[in-house]
């Protein structure tokens, strides 16, 4: 039984489908378009990498070697402010009794931040001065904000009697990277689903162009049926999407981003590629010309993607959950349902192609 299935699969592929698929890929190679596609993705990855490095070094003080912000504290509430700052590892407070001295220290670069405090109407007013237009600015403000929030918490604790609701105790900060999830939730879905979208787009181009230029007729003179031609084109396009996606995942893990569940991710990307490419085939046969086909395809896929992201079966979130190793049974069920949907959509589209009169295209 199993042998006959494999045999049938080989026989199915050995018909003209594989020839057409390899021809499709050869054209991509000749036109250097696939090279361009990879270059684009590399550009995206490089820019995102730049973004991540930039964000992390700007916002995560522990990643900046030996960074120490000298803070000048002055004014009425210096004592409280200093206590709050002392809790921050990357801030180092010095109290100045004279405000002018604090500003002088800032001006001469001995301090990167000034906390100027005043007590008014039972509230502590703080003026935080940060250096303008330097790379440290964001860091100083972010760290300063942490210190000020610590001051606020400390004041809440002191005024607990006046509060009708008590704020919850905060856990200690262990310097975890707040942008840790960026790689998994934004970059990874982008890299994984961009090849899928590009595959669908090329499918539309490839089919409508044959129709437009009348070369489909020539191909039809050869002893191949329309369904074989479209199968061949679709196989080629479905094939390249997961390969690209996996290459990206490999690159990411080489860069130290741990990727869990690669098998499931492969399944998810393949299923999405099947669905998107099938839709592309259907749209290019249905639409009147290339322009409307391409527009319908891209708007349609985008709409679908946005609509799906509102549901628990959100593909971007599913990919993120799988890669970051937070997948639950539900996540695996979602991937399985995508695979099932891919099967249904592909079968449906093939049924439809079977009924299309190739001579009327």
Partner 1 sequence: MKLLGRFRRIWRIARWEVSLGSTSFDRRTLMIAAVLVVLAGSIVGAAMVFGLGGLSPNQDIYRVGIDADSPYHNVVESHSALTARPADPELLESGDIELLVSPADDSGTVSLIAAEDDDTTAVEVESTGQSRLSVAHAQSEKGNAALTAFRAAVERYNDRLMALEENQTAAYPVGVQLQYQSQQQLVQSDDQELPDDAENDDVEDDESVDSGDDTDEDSDDSADADQDTDGEVAVDDDREDPVVADHEGSFVEQLFAGGTDSGSPAEISPPFPFSSLLLAFVFLVPMNFIIQAYGGTILNERINRRGELLLVAPLTRLDIVAGKTLPYLIASIGAISAISLGIGGGIVSVLAVLPIALAFLSATFVGAMFARSFKELTFVTVTISVFLMSYAFVPAIFTNVTPIALISPLTLVVMELQGDPIGVGAYVFSTVPFYLSSVILFLLGVGVYREEDMFTQKSVPLKFLDALDARLRGPKSVAVVSGLMIPFVFVLELLAIAVLFVLPIELSIPIILVVMAAIEEVAKSIHIYAGFESDRFGRTTSMALLLGAMSGLGFFVGEKFTAISQLVGLPELALGEATLTPSGVTPTATLGLLAAPLVLHVVTAGISALGAKRDLRWYLVAMLIATLVHAGYNFGVLYFYG
Count, residues in the chain: 361
Residues 341/346/351/354 CA torsion (nearest 10 deg): 170
Phi, psi angles (nearest 5°) of residue 96: -115, 125
Give the neighbor-by-neighbor strand order of the sheet with 91-96.
Answer: 91-96, 69-75, 113-120
Phi, psi angles (nearest 5°) of residue 354: -60, -30
User: What is the footprint of partner 1 within residues 170-199 (CB under 8 A)?
Assistant: 170-178, 180-181, 184-186, 189, 198
CA-to-CA distance for 272 and 245, rounded, in angstroms? 12
What's the closest the beta carbon of residue 22 comes to partner 1, in angstroms?
16
> Which one, 246 or 280, has the nearer CB to partner 1?
280
What's the closest the beta carbon of residue 60 comes to partner 1, in angstroms?
9
Our CA angle for 348, 349, 352, nearest 5°, is 90
Tokens of 79: 């004592």
User: What is the footprint of partner 1 within residues 243-282 (CB under 8 A)?
Assistant: none
> Which one, 200 or 242, has the nearer CB to partner 1?
200
Q: Which of 13, 18, 25, 124 binds partner 1 (CB under 8 A)?
A: 124
Task: Candidates 3-11, 85-93, 265-273, 298-306: pick the segment binding partner 1 (CB under 8 A).
Answer: 298-306
CA-to-CA distance for 280 and 207, rounded, in angstroms? 9
Distances (CA, A) of 255 to 143, 259, 317: 28, 11, 22
3-state secondary structure of 95: strand
Task: Candidates 26-34, 86-94, 337-345, 351-359: pick the segment binding partner 1 (CB under 8 A).
Answer: 26-34
What's the closest the beta carbon of residue 8 comes to partner 1, in angstroms?
32
Cα Rg of the chain, angstroms: 30
Task: Candidates 8-16, 151-159, 245-253, 343-351: pick the segment binding partner 1 (CB under 8 A).
Answer: 151-159
Task: Candidates 219-227, 243-251, 293-301, 335-343: pick the segment binding partner 1 (CB under 8 A).
Answer: 293-301
What's the closest the beta carbon of residue 188 comes to partner 1, in angstroms?
10
> Which one, 8 or 291, has the nearer CB to partner 1?
291
**Residues whose CB is less than 8 angstroms from the CB of residue 284 and which lie 6 or more positions away in sequence, other chains included:** 203, 204, 207, 208, 211, 290, 293, 297
What's the closest the beta carbon of residue 332 comes to partner 1, in angstroms?
14
Residue 89 found at the interface with partner 1 (CB under 8 A): no
Tell which residue, 32, 47, 19, has the closest CA to residue 194. Answer: 47
Q: Binders of partner 1: how many residues, by CB under 8 A?
A: 126
Residue 28 found at the interface with partner 1 (CB under 8 A): yes
Instruction: Give CA 257 to chain center in angstroms.
Output: 13
> Which one, 12 or 215, has the nearer CB to partner 1?
215
Residue 164 found at the interface with partner 1 (CB under 8 A): yes
Given a contact cutoff of 8 angstroms between Cβ atoms, the answer to whether 232 and 18 are in contact is yes
315 half-sphere exposure, CB direction, 13 A CA radius: 28
Residue indicated by tokens 């196989």: 235
Q: Which of 310, 329, 355, 360 binds partner 1 (CB under 8 A)?
A: 310
What's the closest the beta carbon of residue 318 comes to partner 1, in angstroms?
10
What's the closest the beta carbon of residue 123 comes to partner 1, in angstroms?
6
Q: How far apart are the first and last CA of the chain?
A: 39
CA-to-CA distance for 132 and 35, rounded, in angstroms? 43
> Which one, 13 or 332, has the nearer CB to partner 1?
332
Task: Candidates 87-95, 291-299, 337-345, 348-356: pick the segment binding partner 1 (CB under 8 A).
Answer: 291-299
Task: Judge residue 274's burial from the number of C-beta atoms within 10 Å of its C-beta, 0-12 exposed, 13-18 middle, 19 or more buried.
Answer: buried
What's the closest the beta carbon of residue 167 comes to partner 1, in angstroms?
4
What's the closest the beta carbon of residue 84 comes to partner 1, in angstroms?
9
Q: Which of 250, 303, 333, 344 binds partner 1 (CB under 8 A)?
A: 303
Q: Which of 271, 317, 335, 338 binds partner 1 (CB under 8 A)?
A: 317
């Amino acid at each position: 039984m199993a042998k006959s299935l494999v045999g049938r699969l080989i026989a199915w592929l050995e018909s003209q489908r594989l020839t057409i698929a390899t021809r499709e890929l050869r054209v991509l190679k000749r036109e250097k378009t696939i090279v361009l596609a990879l270059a684009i993705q590399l550009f995206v990855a490089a820019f995102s990498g730049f973004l991540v490095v930039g964000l992390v070094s700007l916002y995560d003080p522990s990643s900046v070697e030996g960074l120490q912000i000298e803070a000048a504290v002055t004014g009425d509430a210096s004592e409280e402010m200093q206590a709050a700052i002392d809790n921050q590892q990357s801030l180092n407070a010095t109290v100045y009794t004279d405000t002018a001295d604090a500003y002088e220290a800032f001006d001469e670069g001995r301090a990167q931040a000034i906390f100027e405090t005043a007590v008014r109407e039972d509230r502590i007013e703080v003026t935080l001065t940060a250096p303008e237009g330097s790379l440290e600015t964001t860091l100083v403000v972010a760290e300063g904000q942490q210190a000020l929030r610590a001051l606020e918490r400390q004041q809440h604790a002191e005024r607990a009697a006046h509060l009708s609701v008590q704020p919850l105790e905060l856990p200690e900060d262990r310097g975890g990277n707040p942008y840790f999830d960026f790689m998994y939730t934004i970059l990874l879905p982008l890299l994984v689903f961009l090849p899928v979208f590009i595959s669908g787009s090329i499918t539309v181009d490839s089919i409508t162009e044959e129709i437009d230029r009348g070369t489909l007729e020539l191909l039809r003179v050869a002893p191949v049926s329309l369904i074989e031609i479209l199968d061949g084109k679709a196989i080629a396009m479905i094939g390249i999407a997961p390969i690209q996606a996996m290459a990206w995942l490999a690159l990411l893990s080489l860069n130290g981003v741990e990727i869990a569940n690669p098998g499931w991710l492969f399944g998810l990307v393949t299923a999405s590629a099947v669905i998107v490419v099938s839709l592309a085939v259907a749209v290019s046969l249905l639409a009147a010309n290339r322009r409307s086909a391409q527009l319908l395809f891209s708007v349609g896929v985008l709409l679908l993607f946005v609509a799906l992201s509102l549901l628990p079966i959100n593909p971007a979130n599913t990919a993120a959950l799988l890669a970051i190793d937070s997948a639950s049974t539900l996540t695996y069920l979602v991937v399985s349902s995508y695979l099932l949907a891919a099967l249904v959509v592909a079968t449906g589209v093939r049924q439809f192609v079977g009924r299309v009169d190739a001579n009327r295209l």
